[in-house]
Chain A
Amino acid sequence: MIPLNWYLGLSAIVFSIGLYGLMSHKNGIRMLMCVELMLNSANINLVAFSSYNNDMTGQVFALFSIAIAAAEAAVGFAILMSIYRMRDMINVDKLNILRW
């Protein structure tokens, strides 16, 4: 049986890659993918703990978070699509329209 630490290590690595990508990239779509990576690292943790404890709760949580991630990705893509139509680019550095 693979020890729990390995799962946690993998999850930490995937989360760090996602975080790094989110903070360093300017392309909106890449940033969305990085967010997915971070969510999935959390899912790895949930599933690992679930099987380690023989408790189904973690896996149910993981299913929930996958479903929410899919919905969030759909909304995120829709926003990026409309930004692209308006401005012909998705460089988030230039998209500081959230500020007043």
Chain B
Amino acid sequence: MAMENLAFLIPLLPALAFVLTFFLGKKLPSGGAIIPIVAIAISCIISLAITMGLLQNPEHVVTQSVHWFAILNLGILIDPLAAVMLSMVTFVSLLIHIYAVGYMAHDPAKPRYFAETALFTAAMLGLILSDNILQLFICWELVGLSSYLLIGFWFHKPGAAAAAKKAFLTTRIGDVMFLAGIVLLFSDIFTVYNGVLPEGVYVLQFSEMFHLIPELVAINSTILGMEVSHLTLVTLLFFGGAVGKSGQFPLHVWLPDAMEGPTTVSALIHAATMVTAGVYLVARTFPMFLAAPDSLIIVAIVGAFTALFAATMGIVMNDLKRVLAYSTVSQLGYMVLGLGLGAVVGAEAVGISMFHLINHAFFKALLFLCAGSVIHAVGTHDMRQLGGVGKVMPITFATMTAAALALAGFGIPGTSLGFSGFLSKDPIIESAYLYATETGSWMPYLFAITAAFLTSLYIFRLIFMTFTGEARTDYGGHESPSSMTVPLAILAVLAVIFGALTRTSFYHFIEETFVHMDIEALAELGGYHLAHHGHEPLLVLWMPLIVAVAGLVIAYLIYNRRVVDMSSIVSRNNPVYKLLYNRYYQHQIFVEFFSVKIIYEGLALAGYYSDKMLDWLVNGTSYVLIEAGDSLRKFQTGVIQHYAAAVVAGVGLLVVLIKLVMEVF
């Protein structure tokens, strides 16, 4: 009971740690890392205790609410969905903070680093436990700010500064859509109540939003000749925000560039905080998506496309961290696809998506921290210069292999035996198959299964190129200190067994979030037909494993046995390789076409008009006023006789006027 009253401390302690570390960090050993570590550890304990309480009694949702403005509130809502996220974020963030003590040991700006990561964690925790969407948006923006600060942590490097700017501006496109969605929702709720809100109604509170879904669906407007439900618009605008934060196509371009920050920051962004915010937003507002016609289908298509699209780029990258970055984009595509499959499986979609999110958090944090361990030891992240690192760094090698197996998804279909990535990715692919048989749209399934093959291929390419074979350059190298390897070991254990441990209870626990809602009725509002898992053919169950093994074998043959000479394929003349290596020319399209050609030159044109027309108007007005004032000024000669003459003339004029008036009347 007491723990629930402490729920407000979960985001508050890291926020406090941010302030303290920022001001006192320089005076403390190792940049004051101890402050955020202790703060986040306490947050973690409170989160875990609340989660345990909810597991015992899922009805006992933590809600605390404070008046803010008359119609808005500031509040905490910890239901099963928020509880698992809180526990995961605090736990992974804690491990990353401990790891960073070793990783950032030689950086002079440590206080700033630890202050900013504490702020990042605080913002993310605030986002998760918001009970209204406005508060969520505020924390959402704070998360964006922290990511900007941390990606550009080494701001003296031009690449880091540019990457930070790119991340900020790209996610900003999504944020604007999100904000537009909130504004539209706000006005729609007023429409529903005819502008008169009953006492005690907080407009943007989630419970209020869900309560009004049937009324909101009924509001339509015509866009380009199509009748569009406002709820569809609102949810798609929310999804636009998720696309920006969670790196979905086409706003994923910032995520690989975010590698410019310290590797621990990449781990934090890619596993626990920033990118999960978008998935969480969609999961949190899932009842609205479920009731909105066509929204979930778009979500599924974007997710499936992103999963495959990013995986294709992952197989040609030579930078250790960039492979992992594209892997994150791809896995986020799976999560978003999982949510989109709610069009067929209903609220279970949130369960399968969140399950993948949590498992992904563990093994992706592990992958990044292992990569950081390698980079820390050998000082390069170009895989072409590495090779044979496994011999000098056995712990890193072992944990990285565990993470790779989890990511690629190895396990025995139909049982709970398997790495966590397998147990969470499999339900998504199976649901995609169900989606295909129900709706006849095979695109999500085919994309998901192809992406699973490519995932296995690129991650084992990374393992074989980096850890096995002979060293290609003389890089030295040594195993990392224990402050780094212990978090690796903890994460490795979780990456391997977490899925198997929680698989059966997890879905049930998450579904408790929506237990008060009539899912069937909501899906009917959205025009979806829910189906239940039947008996999928054996081939469908085994397919993910088959493609994963195929990827492993192909990677082994090419990069370890070298049965194919890659140098003949990997040439700048191969058009497919060229396309992939240049990342589909997205950077060129975005920067040179959109921003330079359209926006910049558009601004130049607008500038021309403002020079010619607006300036002329403004300057003309001031010119007339100055000239008028100047000519009036000349009447003031300062010569007394002139004033006296004016007085006499005035009096004379007055006399004549009075005389005239008297004559006339």
Q: Return the chain B residue nearest A31 by Cβ.
A: B640
**CB closest chain-B residue, reference A98:** B638
Are A100 and B633 in contact (CB-based, < 8 A)?
A: yes
Residues of B within 8 A of A19 (CB): 644, 648
Q: Is the beta-carbon distance between B641 and A96 smaller than 8 angstroms? A: no
Find A23's partner among B636, B638, B644 (CB 8 Å cutoff): B644
Could you tell me which residues of chain A, from 49 to 99, have a CB within 8 Å of some CB in chain B?
Answer: 92-93, 95-99
Q: Which residue of B lies closest to A26 (CB)?
A: B641
Report the minimum CB–CB distance from A81 to chain B (whole Å): 17
Q: Of residues 8 to 25 in A, which have CB atoms within 8 Å of B's CB atoms?
A: 19, 22-24
Contact yes or no, A22 B644, CB < 8 A: yes
Cβ-defined contact, B641 with A23, below 8 A: yes
* Pair A99/B638 contact, Cβ less than 8 Å: yes
In angstroms, Cα B637 to Cα A95, docked, is 10
- In whole angstroms, how far apart are the Cα atoms of A24 and B645 in the complex? 10
Q: Which of A22, A24, A100 has the most CB of B within 10 A?
A: A22
- Least Cβ–Cβ distance between A72 and chain B, in angstroms: 14
List, in ascending order, chain B residues with CB within 8 A of A99's CB: 636-638
| Complex CA–CA separation, A23 to B639 (angstroms) | 10
- Interface positions, chain B 617-655, Cβ under 8 Å from A, are 633, 636-641, 644-645, 648
Chain B residues in 8 Å Cβ range of A22: 641, 644
Q: For the complex, what is the distance from the CA of A92 to the CA of B648, rounded to whole Å?
A: 18
Q: How far is the CA of A31 from the CA of B641 in the complex (A)?
A: 9
Rounded to whole angstroms, the CA-CA distance of A98 and B645 in the bound complex is 16
Q: Give Cα distance in the complex from A87 to B637, angstroms.
A: 19
Least CB distance from A92 to B in Å reads: 5
What residues on B are CB-neighbors of A93 within 8 Å? Answer: 639
Q: Evaluate contact between A92 and B641: CB separation under 8 angstroms.
A: yes
Cα–Cα distance between A100 and B644 once the two chains are bound (Å): 18
**Which B586-642 residues have a C-beta within 8 angstroms of A?**
633, 636-641
B-contact bits for A32-44, CB 8 A (1 contact / 0 none):
0000000000000
Residues in B neighbouring A31, C-beta threshold 8 A = 640
- Complexed CA–CA distance, A86 and B492 (Å): 93
CB distance A96 to B644 under 8 Å?
Answer: no
Minimum CB–CB distance for A21 against chain B, Å: 10
CA distance A93 to B642 in the complex (A): 10
Chain A residues within 8 Å of B636, by CB? 98-100
Residues of chain A lying within 8 A (CB to CB) of residue B639:
92-93, 96
Chain A residues whose CB sits within 8 angstroms of the CB of B648 once the complex forms: 19, 23
8 additional A-B pairs beyond A92-B641, A99-B637, A100-B636, beta carbons within 8 Å, are A23-B644, A24-B641, A31-B640, A92-B639, A95-B638, A95-B640, A96-B639, A99-B638
Q: Which residues of A contact B (CB under 8 A)?
A: 19, 22-24, 31, 92-93, 95-100
Could you name 22 residue pairs across A and B whose Cβ atoms are closer than 8 Å? A19-B648, A22-B644, A23-B641, A23-B644, A23-B645, A23-B648, A24-B641, A92-B639, A92-B640, A93-B639, A95-B638, A96-B637, A96-B638, A96-B639, A97-B638, A98-B636, A98-B638, A98-B640, A99-B636, A99-B637, A99-B638, A100-B636
- The 10 A-B residue pairs whose C-beta atoms are closest, nearest first, are A96-B638, A99-B638, A98-B638, A99-B636, A92-B640, A23-B641, A22-B644, A23-B644, A96-B639, A23-B645
